[in-house]
């Protein structure tokens, strides 16, 4: 039976805006999952689901104005949702996760350090009243000793089971010492830091404290913007954890809902740089996507051209979580990382999977290898794959083409050069077997052995790795059942090969054991249609099932 979820007490008697709907009809939600985000003049409030269930209807849309008791959505309770909590975040007195006003931090005058002759004095800032929350974890310390703080600047972020809370500085001053570190558990009254306050600001703080507490009761979610801001301000000099882009706009406050902030964090986007197109310049998800798109379009030389791995991903100081060691990448790994990144960013990839019955081929290979042993030649499965791919590329010339950068034309190549991904201790290299379609199996096997050895001994020349028209990446000697190789630009397709395995195959009247080779063909969807990819792998599979077809 469906039940209504209504707008809880959000601390405002006036209607509030629906700024995000975090679920859709048909979604299965857990208790406490955010279902909608509401915004008043003062606070952004995430409304959590009071119980688990399936969303059957949504009664509001973004832009609606709602007040306490209005219907939000209908939920069909899940099995486990026996206890029907009221449609209120945490009861009337408590505020919903991520929505409560930032508690006003307590300031105690440090007894050991009273007022100096210049009128300044040192005070201890302590954890404000957290209600019944005990042992909240410090998830971020946003300031360091020596920092000059503005009143209201975030000094730390605490997290409990129910909410994350930003603790703002109660007044301006200079941080004398920080008592806490990330990971510490704190409760009401625990010391956070000591602050030297000039006589003037100490006085005004006292006046303010005696008057209204409104300045300190800024909504938590809005203050999340300040969390980012404070991070940008406090971190870069001491830790390598802020991006230069972020540091370049330290003071811009960010107006965005929690889901948008989450998206930005996941995409490594500094929200301070994203123009908001929503009401009151609020940043919407579309704004984040548009900003990323614009960056990608404007950065072809840097990212697609191999200039680095920048998407303004924040550098993370992993040492805060435990011991670390930095390994400088060698040139080969750096270059291949750039090439792979460029391909990944510029080529819309699809991977087509198929199987090939190689039972007869494997029997033939073993038989031939016995005969060839005296000559010191080993016909590998890969040699057969090269020969079969060369044949398939002739039959499907689009797979042997390149797309002009303008996107206006395809370049068809009347030669078939197949690159083989070779794993070496220094990284991945792709030597090329030139004119693979004109070589015998034995020639391919010998050349491949030579190239793989040269690769492992770092003897490959640039000429050995140039001019490929198609690539094969074989992990069959290692294991796995399927994978998605990345197209080796400017090629348009790459064949991934996994480990062959004996499988029961229905022959029309019974299951028979057949040696089955998994094939994974990744291709550039701008050039190759899905149907053609399926035809290609199917054709390849037929060739491998009966290699005599390669001769036809």
Distance CA 361, CA 545 (A): 7
Residue with smallest beta-carbon separation from ligand CAO: 476
CA–CA distance, 414 with 482 (Å, rounded to integer): 31
Comparison of 292 and 422: residue with beta carbon closer to ligand CAO:
422
Q: Nearer Cβ to ligand CAO, position 55 or 422?
A: 422
The residues binding ligand CAO (CB under 6 A) are 380-382, 420-423, 428, 452, 473-477, 485, 497, 499-500, 517
Identified catalytic residue from 289, 349, 353, 525 = 525
- Quote the least distance from Cβ 329 to ligand CAO, whole Å: 16
* C-beta closer to ligand CAO: residue 271 or 421: 421
Find out whether 316 and 231 touch, Cβ atoms under 8 Å. Answer: no
The set of residues, in sequence order, having a beta carbon less than 8 Å from that of 529 and lying 6+ positions away, is none
Rounded to a whole number of angstroms, the minimum distance from the CB of residue 52 to ligand CAO is 41
347 or 381: CB nearest ligand CAO: 381
Spatial contact of 85 and 50, defined as CB atoms under 8 Å apart? yes
Find the helix or strand (DSSP H, E) in which 196 lies.
strand 191-197
Other CB atoms within 10 A of residue 371 CB: 10
3-state secondary structure of 260: helix
Strands 71-77 and 53-58: antiparallel
C-alpha to C-alpha distance for 338 and 303, rounded to whole angstroms: 8
Between 119 and 477, whose beta carbon lies closer to ligand CAO? 477
Pick 113 or 349: Cβ nearer ligand CAO: 349
- Whole-number Å distance between alpha carbons of 328 and 307: 17
Look at residue 37 and give its three-state secondary structure: strand
> For tokens 């840097």, what's the residue?
302
Q: Which residues contact 457 (CB under 8 A, 6 or more apart)?
A: none
Contact 260, 228 (CB under 8 A): no
Quick check: bond before 316 cis, omega within 30? no
Q: Which is nearer to ligand CAO, 58 or 356 (CB)?
A: 356
Pick 477 or 530: Cβ nearer ligand CAO: 477
> Per the structure block, which two tokens stand in for 60?
């509001």
Closest approach of Cβ 480 to ligand CAO, in Å?
Answer: 9
At how many degrees (to 10) do helices 258-267 and 220-234 cross? Answer: 30
To the query of whether residue 525 is one of the catalytic residues in this protein, the response is: yes
What is d(CA 124, CA 116) in angstroms, rounded to the nearest whole number?
A: 15
Percent helix, strand, coil in the chain, to 5, is: 30, 25, 45
Closer residue to ligand CAO (CB): 224 or 516 = 516
Report in angstroms how near the CB of residue 417 gets to ligand CAO at its nearest.
16
The tokens for 267 are: 């995409």
Shortest Å, Cβ 289 to ligand CAO: 29
CA dist list (Å): 145 to 176, 177, 186, 511, 518: 5, 5, 19, 73, 59
How many whole angstroms separate alpha carbon 387 and alpha carbon 420? Answer: 12
**CB of residue 328 to ligand CAO, shortest distance in Å:** 22
CB of 507 to ligand CAO, least distance (A): 22
CB of 424 to ligand CAO, least distance (A): 7
CB of 413 to ligand CAO, least distance (A): 22
Residues labelled as active-site residues: 525
């Amino acid at each position: 039976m469906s039940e209504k979820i209504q707008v809880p007490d959000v601390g405002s008697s006036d209607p509030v805006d629906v700024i995000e709907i975090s679920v859709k009809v048909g979604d299965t939600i857990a208790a406490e999952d955010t279902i909608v985000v509401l915004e008043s003049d003062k606070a952004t409030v995430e409304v959590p689901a009071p119980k688990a269930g399936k969303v059957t209807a949504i009664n509001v849309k973004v832009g609606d104005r709602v007040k306490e008791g209005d219907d939000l959505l209908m939920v069909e309770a899940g099995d486990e949702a026996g206890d029907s909590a009221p449609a209120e975040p945490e009861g009337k007195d408590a505020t919903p996760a991520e929505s409560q006003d930032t508690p006003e931090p307590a300031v105690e005058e440090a007894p050991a350090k009273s007022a100096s002759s210049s009128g300044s004095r040192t005070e201890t800032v302590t954890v404000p009243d957290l209600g019944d929350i005990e042992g909240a974890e410090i998830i971020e310390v946003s300031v360091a000793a020596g920092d000059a703080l503005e009143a209201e600047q975030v000094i730390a972020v605490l997290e409990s089971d129910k909410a994350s809370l930003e603790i703002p500085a109660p007044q301006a001053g200079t941080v004398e010492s920080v008592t806490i570190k990330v990971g510490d558990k704190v409760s009401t009254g625990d010391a956070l830091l000591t602050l030297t306050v000039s006589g003037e600001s100490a006085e005004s703080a006292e006046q303010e404290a005696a008057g209204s507490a409104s300045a300190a009761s800024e909504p938590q979610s809005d203050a999340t913007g300040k969390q980012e801001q404070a991070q940008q301000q406090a971190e870069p000099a001491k830790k390598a954890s802020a991006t230069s882009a972020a540091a370049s706009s330290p003071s811009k406050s960010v107006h965005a809902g929690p889901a948008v902030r989450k998206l930005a964090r996941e995409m490594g986007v500094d929200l301070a740089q994203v123009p908001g197109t929503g009401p009151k310049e609020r940043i919407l998800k579309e704004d984040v996507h548009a900003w990323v798109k614009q960056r990608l379009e404007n950065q072809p030389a840097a990212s697609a051209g191999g200039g680095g791995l920048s998407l303004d991903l924040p550098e993370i100081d992993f040492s805060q979580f435990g011991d670390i060691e930095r390994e400088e990448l060698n040139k080969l790994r750096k270059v291949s990382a750039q090439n792979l990144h460029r391909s990944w960013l510029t080529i819309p990839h699809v991977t087509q999977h198929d199987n090939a019955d190689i039972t007869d081929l494997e029997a033939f290979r073993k038989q031939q290898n016995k005969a060839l042993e005296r000559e010191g030649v080993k016909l590998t499965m890969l040699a057969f794959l090269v020969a079969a791919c060369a044949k398939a590329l002739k039959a499907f010339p689009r797979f042997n083409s390149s797309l002009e950068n303008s996107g206006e034309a395809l370049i068809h190549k009347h030669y078939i050069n197949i690159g083989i991904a070779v794993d070496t201790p220094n990284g991945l290299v792709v030597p090329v077997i030139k004119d693979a379609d004109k070589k015998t199996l034995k020639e391919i096997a010998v050349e491949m052995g030579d190239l793989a050895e040269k690769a492992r001994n770092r003897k490959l020349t640039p000429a050995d790795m140039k001019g490929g028209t198609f690539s094969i990446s074989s992990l069959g000697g290692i294991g796995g059942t399927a994978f998605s190789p990345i197209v080796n630009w400017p090629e348009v397709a790459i064949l991934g090969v996994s480990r062959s395995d004996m499988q029961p195959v229905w022959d029309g009247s019974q299951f028979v054991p057949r040696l089955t080779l998994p094939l994974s063909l990744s291709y550039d969807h701008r050039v190759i249609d899905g149907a053609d990819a399926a035809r290609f792998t199917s054709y390849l599979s037929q060739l491998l099932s009966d290699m005599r077809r390669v001769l036809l």
